[in-house]
Structure 1
């Protein structure tokens, strides 16, 4: 696990976490492997038509064709990977262990090799040589659908049969828990208040440890309402646990990942342009974007949770579905005897780590039936726009023009539940938030007016905003008072400028004669000094340097790092949450072994062992069994015309003879030499065609 170093948010060494996707894999893939994949029958024609390799490995319509070209071992291995690891990284040894009673080690190795050759599975190697494998996240949903039985999800048409649960309350073992702290409008509304507070600060300096100062942090988070153990219960860890609570970290993480905050190690900067782009959307769309970030924080999730997330995301927004059906789907994908016995603990884990946060954020709505079952429905479309989400998004423009609030004679502004965040942003710029609920209440005060005036808003502009969006006319006393405040604010004000000092009047005169410098020297003080607006200082400094001067401030006053530049954000600002996916830190493995490499010294055994059924002497039988165990391969045994395939595990010597212990059709068996007449050594990938299905 990565740790935070001195310098904090901006100086931590681990990369901004993001689950492994095929776009990254293809970018880092060796050219020889790209050529090998591109030449394969299942995709060669698509590649010629210009389909990208990452699309071929993620789009369901291409994966259907790939599936038909996979061998039995490759299909079974891929199914095993999805059941045991999902998109978490794994070693070959761990995969063989998970195979248990299902597959021989050589079958797993051959299947894994074949999946690497098609590009489905990517391989990485640690510095000390250990090899790791991973199924990239963006193909998980398609492979789940293709390899596992579909889950029948019951729906409820009559909503009267369900009792809505308060946001943040869930049922566990039939007992309703107390509702956790929650904002009735959800996560996007809380992030809005956090960003509005950030925008109103002159700066967001960091301490030497890299954290925000406590007093300023209190201002930024005063309207945040989230449980303290939210991230920990979801399996997310973060830096500065002694300085920040879970709600604060989540706000910072969302703001950084969405591009609303960036920094330079000494302070954070608010990126207004990026924030405005987000605020322009429909509220459901804003919630959907935050859901994508939350989902990414949890990936790669434990395999059972990833299956649950994927099943849920295949449901329709606005429709009720049963949580227990999702749990049955999880068990169907990750079925093992032990898991079936732990269905109740799985249910509780799923509710606490996944469903509860979705409810707290108002991503889903929860209800209970008469039997204590929990049901959910999405409040937006998690997989992108559908009819439910598109109909809301299409009304954004009309909502922007429609009345959204009431202006009271006592200077209170009441925003209705359907008022968009973009409209609320305009109000928050010149009014103070009093109450945040479905109906948000702001109060216009002299202090809030002056705050807006300092940001460049005039009284007439504020009046226009109120008149355009208010129901009914704005009370005349409110308008008159704001005009009076505007007149008072314009009489005297403090402006931050920079003084350019020249050594002599002659130098000052020379600067004024220069066509490039003259536009920046509008106000002369005395004979040798000029007042320069701060925002023009860097341009003036460049002109002075071109004239041969070297003003001391030219290096200190660089371009404003908070300027709206597409290149500034880059990867400078890292989030606080530690990555769950360390595999991206390692180099991609460029070595691709051949099938024969799995069976060292294969030329030392008789060819007949692999070709024909024969009745061998007892000592030869034992040699074949030992070799099968060494290579983790299989034996095909025949007696009276009936053949069987065995995965040998142990050859045990006893007084009465020797015993072969192994697996057959997922069951443990023990055989003596009398239990078969003829035998053959089966090496997966070499002579196993038609042997097993």
Structure 2
């Protein structure tokens, strides 16, 4: 994603892109955010040079978010893009300078260019829907809500993930000695998703887990999505994981429709874009208007049909066969659901009461309930079933478990009141919750760090020492004290000053100290799903290095070799056939186009190869217009034009940079 790659750029490099003239029309939205706005990108494309615009059009059409080796791009130039090699190099430099394309270098020197996934989708949206696969069609029927909107019979994936993450939270993310999640944790998470094991395996067969022998595909997706959203983090220098509580809270508090749309795009961009055909198909799906019926224009592959069913089973779309046997498709949510203002969000929440609390502890949850409410109920209530609404039940065990997990009784009751529109909790249920909560945490087991003295005299002296007593949390027996791990460095120092240094041959305190010192040091988790390209493992290249490696300095005004006669690149001239051959050979070697005058008409020739000898030679290549991307293959002998010159592709220089 674009945010990831910009985070790997230096501050100077980011500032250089932000001040580029091409983004000057986006004052209110700074790059890189502006690079994801389709309306801004339409203007950006008009500001690109002709060659850069041609290359970008080819890239969106043929490569999309897939990486392309530099050599392949240069070899594709004339046939696929309509550009000569030097023009492709200049266009690549321009697109990289503007933060549109990025490049990474493998350890053996091969360079890969690519368009970040979300950037690619932004450019597709700027281009618009082209009806390659779909056309609007009359409704084929389905389920509708009271407002006449089509609804899904499937629980949306986002709500299933909330349940799975709540199940993970109850395990405290404990791992086995091999650093893997235990089988029971996996089983509990899969059970929370709510699919039968066989159905889930078939539904997620579009991914390959990194830990294929240990993690089923659905569980790997649960972890991978959490990592990509920044909810699940890895504890630095350990094999453990931890929740990023700030991000988790923000995610749970967001609009459910917005969160489902974010998940829809994440799932599509990360798990369906492995081949050009699927990229074209699924990206066009994202361009379809929400709640509008479409019918298919052409036969679909099994992978494409399967993907439509995945979107349907995830509760985001309706895919069905029509009476004539063709497939119909309809988004039930907007894949590009916009963020609402605080006032708009507050108003939408008052349109529906998401929770009904019954006296017997049964909780009826509306499909419009927030993720935050679902998260609370998953921790404090027992899930019963899902129908048109979700049913939970408060029990003595569920309330006790919530209190033991750190949830306050009043917090639970307040959450229930707020979600039920401010209505009071039934009196008998409120008393029951209070009774159940009071029974929790009456006894507990704790792991503590002990300071043990070798005699009662030293223990008494330490307890009486003014600088040491405050560092001892509690005395246990005659010779031992409970010590808080955070106080160990200060305690060690004071004991040494008092003449009672801690023994160095007792390693029992080390694990607790390490746990304390690493607390809060969290880094990116994952990946848990195999990425066929894994560009993140390579070194990010700067545009300056790309130019330097091509043998050009920033001060060069042209890509012309010094040994070329100036007349070859100046005005159009007539030459002897042998000189014409020399000019064509030089243009081929350098990858430059040639302007020729034939029968009084000026055209541009992009040479591809030279054949023949003496005066009987032929140059094969392509004729092109100055603005369109159409190229025409030709074979020309030297007597077929009168005058010629080599066109020097100028290196990219942003003279209007702010």
Q: For the superposition of Structure 1 and Structure 2, which TM-score range results when normalised by the shorter chain?
A: 0.7 to 0.9
Indicate the residue corresponding to 2:328 in structure 1. 374
- Is 2:104–2:539's contact at 8 Å kept on the other side of the alignment? yes
Indicate the residue corresponding to 1:72 in structure 2. 50
Distance 1:562 1:163 in 2: 60
- Is 2:118–2:269's contact at 8 Å kept on the other side of the alignment? no
Range with bigger deviation, 270-279 or 192-201: 270-279
Distance 1:40 1:543 in 2: 53
> Residue 278 and residue 137 in structure 1: after superposition, are their counterparts in 2 closer, same or farther (change >3 A)?
closer
How far off is 1:248 after superposition? Answer: 0.6
Q: Secondary structure at the match of 1:547?
A: helix
Q: Secondary structure at the match of 1:222?
A: helix
> Residue 525 and residue 378 in structure 1: after superposition, are their counterparts in 2 closer, same or farther (change >3 A)?
same
* Structure 2 counterparts to residues 484-499 of structure 1, below 5 A: 493-496=443-446, 498=448
How far off is 1:85 after superposition? Answer: 1.7
How far off is 1:545 after superposition? Answer: 2.3
* Structure 2 counterparts to residues 386-535 of structure 1, below 5 A: 391=344, 394-396=347-349, 402=353, 404-407=355-358, 409=360, 412-456=362-406, 493-496=443-446, 498=448, 500-513=451-464, 518=469, 524-530=475-481, 532=482
- Is 1:249–1:576's contact at 8 Å kept on the other side of the alignment? yes
Indicate the residue corresponding to 1:171 in structure 2. none
**Normalising by the residue count of structure 2, what TM-score does the alignment of the two structures yield?**
0.76
User: Which of 294, 298, 304 does residue 322 from structure 1 map onto?
Assistant: 294
Indicate the residue corresponding to 2:563 in structure 1. 603
Indicate the residue corresponding to 2:511 in structure 1. 556
- Is 1:459–1:485's contact at 8 Å kept on the other side of the alignment? no
Structure 1 position 667 matched with structure 2 position 635: no
Task: In structure 1, list runs of 5 or more residues that go unmatched.
Answer: 1-17, 167-181, 328-342, 688-693
* CA RMSD across the alignment: 4.5
Q: Secondary structure at the match of 1:669?
A: strand
How far off is 1:191 after superposition? Answer: 1.3
Indicate the residue corresponding to 1:332 in structure 2. none
Distance 1:40 1:489 in 2: 62
Structure 1 position 261 matched with structure 2 position 237: no
- Is 2:166–2:375's contact at 8 Å kept on the other side of the alignment? yes
User: Which of 217, 226, 243 does residue 186 from structure 2 map onto?
Assistant: 217
Provide, for residues 177-227 of structure 1, a one-character-per-residue CA deviation record: whole Å limited to 9, x for no partner.
Answer: xxxxx982211221122122222225512341x321213321232222263
> Residue 59 and residue 467 in structure 1: after superposition, are their counterparts in 2 closer, same or farther (change >3 A)?
closer
The size of the alignment, in residue pairs, is 610
- Is 2:104–2:112's contact at 8 Å kept on the other side of the alignment? yes
- Is 1:516–1:543's contact at 8 Å kept on the other side of the alignment? no
> Residue 348 and residue 683 in structure 1: after superposition, are their counterparts in 2 closer, same or farther (change >3 A)?
farther
> Residue 309 and residue 638 in structure 1: after superposition, are their counterparts in 2 closer, same or farther (change >3 A)?
same
> Residue 201 and residue 150 in structure 1: after superposition, are their counterparts in 2 closer, same or farther (change >3 A)?
closer
- Is 1:191–1:251's contact at 8 Å kept on the other side of the alignment? yes
Distance 2:18 2:355 in 1: 56
* Structure 2 counterparts to residues 155-174 of structure 1, below 5 A: 161-164=139-142
Q: Secondary structure at the match of 2:329?
A: strand
Provide, for residues 470-495 of structure 1, a one-character-per-residue CA deviation record: whole Å limited to 9, x for no partner.
Answer: 698877776666666566657x6234
User: Which of 103, 118, 133 does residue 83 from structure 2 map onto?
Assistant: 103
Q: Secondary structure at the match of 2:191?
A: coil
How far off is 1:81 after superposition? Answer: 2.1
How far off is 1:83 after superposition? Answer: 1.9
User: Which of 628, 634, 649 does residue 608 from structure 2 map onto?
Assistant: 649
Distance 1:502 1:109 in 2: 74
> Residue 106 and residue 130 in structure 1: after superposition, are their counterparts in 2 closer, same or farther (change >3 A)?
same
- Is 2:557–2:650's contact at 8 Å kept on the other side of the alignment? no
Q: Secondary structure at the match of 2:165?
A: helix
**Normalising by the residue count of structure 1, what TM-score does the alignment of the two structures yield?**
0.73
Q: Secondary structure at the match of 2:72?
A: helix
> Residue 394 and residue 554 in structure 1: after superposition, are their counterparts in 2 closer, same or farther (change >3 A)?
farther
